[in-house]
Structure 1
């Protein structure tokens, strides 16, 4: 399935996405400038550490951009319902359109989304069947980048040797302490928040339950895992090749669409 573009007109969401992008840009600019490149020039770290940081940073921002503009699974007007699947569809009481079971109507976006998990203001988009995998990648790479940044900030002051061949008259190095304290604070906030969110998402996939279904307190039957974890993850990421679960550049092709195995909201 190709990546259909989807833009939500929501100023609050744009501000949230802008804040996340600012944090990413800040660390991507200042951490290499203040830590990685000077330490590499003095032989305290290898080029692999720099490449790993930039690779993680690229994967993080690609996941953010794609999750923000990807169609989460918006239902089109007057969808064609196969005769064999009529019992798997229902009428939405908000937009009066037929939708597959386990779909949900997003009041902020104004339409129904297939297997909607939740509306996330931090990507200014719904998290649904078609972009859930990108949202998981965003959580994963944000954790990785934030954790890596915190490790570098810590090692810069408490592990690495003091820098010598640095022009301390440069503005950026005169304010080094303040800049890295800001980086550390943002790293702690992002790492803690993303760890909690990522754990919630992983548990939802393992139990084959969306966030909306959990909040609606659906019956106990829906909260029990009835599929192997490999199957539930493969359905989210659209492939059984586990190495591809970590690649944000590819196209997702759903293994199958199955709405019958659980109750719905």
Structure 2
């Protein structure tokens, strides 16, 4: 929890994170140079459009880096079990360690994670109690950035007037069509994939159910939502201040209300 770094040694995961980072870097470099800056110089868009793009891009990459390196909720080797919660702990049959209920053993990482949702190769990390909020931010800002990119690509060809004062001898303008087609393709893939994933995550939070519990079909008792949506989201993000749910730079602090309460009353 906090700002401590957590790395998973998995070459396949590193490749997945590298692919996501490449898509982010590609669009962050070429979309402003091909569309935003030339359109701003010719008066087609305002400076606010450029600031909005870069702000969304920064939030997107910060969420990616933090979700990839944050501790998802790895259990300590000798966890301290509060006397009032002993009945809420169980023995893991894989690592023979005591863990809170709703924890799961990740075979790829080799340890148990509190309230583990799933292991995501695209961030090379588990999604658990302590970094679930960062994963949600990553999904949100990725679909926001990819959607914004698709709108800019569309307007560049079908809405804005043709550019006049540009240097066609530059590489990026000579290959403008190919570069923007690649950008559009990546935008469609990322936007479609992230919308589906984000919807699944939101529904899981609303029903207070993890992805693993859904796949295991063992969550009949858990899937009945007994908390208001504000409470379930506040427990995931670690704060009741809704504006802070969108800020990836802060430190998460767990709420005083235990997330086990609703399932063991």
TM-score by length of 1: 0.97
Displacement of 1:4 after TM fit?
1.9
Contact 2:4 2:71 in 1 (8 A): yes
Instruction: Give unmatched runs, 5+ long, in structure 1.
Output: none
Separation in structure 2 between the aligned mates of residue 219 and residue 88 of structure 1, nearest angstrom: 16
Separation in structure 1 between the aligned mates of residue 199 and residue 44 of structure 2, nearest angstrom: 35
Tell me how many residue pairs correspond in the alignment: 265
Displacement of 1:263 after TM fit?
6.3
Displacement of 1:239 after TM fit?
0.4
Q: Structure 1 residues 91 and 256 mapped into 2: Cα distance closer, same or farther (>3 Å)?
A: same
Contact 1:103 1:264 in 2 (8 A): no
Separation in structure 1 between the aligned mates of residue 39 and residue 197 of structure 2, nearest angstrom: 33
Separation in structure 1 between the aligned mates of residue 185 and residue 2 of structure 2, nearest angstrom: 38
Contact 1:102 1:264 in 2 (8 A): no
RMSD: 1.6
Separation in structure 2 between the aligned mates of residue 58 and residue 145 of structure 1, nearest angstrom: 10
TM-score by length of 2: 0.97
Runs of 4+ off more than 3 Å? 259-265
Displacement of 1:259 after TM fit?
5.0
Contact 1:209 1:222 in 2 (8 A): yes
3-state secondary structure, aligned to 2:67: helix
Displacement of 1:160 after TM fit?
0.2
Displacement of 1:222 after TM fit?
1.5
3-state secondary structure, aligned to 2:222: helix
Contact 1:102 1:263 in 2 (8 A): no
Contact 2:227 2:262 in 1 (8 A): no
Corresponding residue number in structure 2 for 1:229: 229
Displacement of 1:9 after TM fit?
0.1
3-state secondary structure, aligned to 2:169: coil
